[in-house]
Structure 1
Amino acid sequence: MSRALPKYNKRRVALIGSATALVLTGAVIAGSALAGESSKSGGDTNARTLASPGTITCPDVASQLPDIPASAQAEVDRNLTLLQTQIDEANKRLVDTVGQGGPNFVQNAILGPLEDKRIATVNRIATAIGRTAEKPQGLDALAPCTLNADGAAGAGEEAGAGEEAGAGDEAEATPSATATDTAGDAGQDTGNAGAGEDAGNAGVGTISCPDVASQLPAIPASAQAEVDRNLALLQTQIDEANTRLVNTVGQGGPNFVQNAILGPLADKRTSTIDRIAISIGRTAEKPQGLNSLAACTLTQ
């Protein structure tokens, strides 16, 4: 049989019970809040982890080729393999450089230079076939590549994805890529001051390139027009690079000039110089070593 509690004990029990309920309620609220923060934080982390810079895709060249003469098969196969290597390296650079550059970083540093490399490689394929069969036309249209939708958000305007590929990520089956990389390493400091982050203080400078015309042998009359046309193109490429140098002052990171201007310029010059050598070699001895003239420098 239970005994009735005195009135003051009843009040104490009621107060203790209320306090306990408040403590428990507070613990539940605090626990819920902490759980919410943890979930949100985890979600952000997962989102960052799952973010992808995307993938670079390019038109298939092999399927667009005509019948390949047996004498050209090995060279064509070698350059088709190089085309895939270029794509693989561009995709690797896309991943390795997430977070670099500005809104046009992927186009300027990866897609543009990749296109230049593909043009040079596709031209070599066409030339190889054209030695003993009709030279295929219009293959240059297969050179441009694209970044898929995920990449546009993950590594495009927000992340950039790496200025370069223009500096010659791979050797391209010509000695120019190594020369370009070496020139780029030596010229980055002046390039940065000219048109990189500190351009406003030091001025943009001027791009200068080795003279090709003076290094050519006697040009056969049958090749003169084509050689002249490509020599003029070399000057146009320099003029366009200098214009870009002025127009992009303040853009990009410390390697912007090398990766977005000097590198792509070297690739274009390599392709143009190759055409000069090939045109001379059709009716005379093909000049060697001209690709060493492809790399340019930035001077103040």
Structure 2
Amino acid sequence: MPRRGNRLLVVGLVGAAALTSAMAVAALATGAEPVAAGVVCPNPVDELPAIPAGARIQVERELSALDQQVAEANERLVSTAGQGGPNFAQNAILGPLRDKRAATLERIAIAIGREADRPEGLEQFATCALLGEGEQPAPTTTTTARETTSTTAAPEQEQDDVAARIACPDPTGALPAVPQAARAEVERELANLDRQVEEANERLVSTRGQGGPNFVDNAILGPLESKRAAALDRIEIAIGRVSDQRPGGLESFAECSLG
């Protein structure tokens, strides 16, 4: 899978609240069992381009805010159950949530636009809906598109997706002799690198068939690259703290690929 070398993508693009809500809509649209009442929101991940390094921190922060907003709205939905009239949820929960999401999505567009082409149309992801218990909502455009892509995929492509694994370069050969005083920390960070790849592969399996063409890059490979870059930097710092032979260039081992 081709990727831009200077790209650092978003950590945690899809939080549990937004992802669960989106999956609930998709499940109901395909005739699955109804779920309990909750706020469901469209997922903006597929519409995001590769995130420039200069915008990465702010975009990460705003995407986390979107997840937090949905979680808070669902908490408020539970705590106010039975209150107000028929328009209570719309006026007191969904309306304010839409405004918050619109502002957050605008900040994402601005942050990316400062460094690259500004993404357009993110405002369409601001409006959320209330999924009542037993309700069978009509499929949205996004859900339909995903179902079509999934059901019409060639068998060969499906087999490739199942067998695909994330492969990452091994930095151990580039390390100098690790001083005794740094050994424990370096070993801990090397173990972190292994665990990060395992978690990314688990996520690759659990999210198979979700999202658009940029989903794996944005939601899995990008966050993995950022985590690995941080772990590799901590390795450099640990060695450099007790030795004048601080290794350089370990960041070249941060980027992984889908093999």
TM-score, normalization by structure 1 = 0.39
The structure that is helix-richer by fraction is: 1
- Which structure has more relative contact order (CA 8 Å, sep 6+)? It is 2
TM-score (norm 2): 0.45
- Higher alpha-carbon Rg: 1
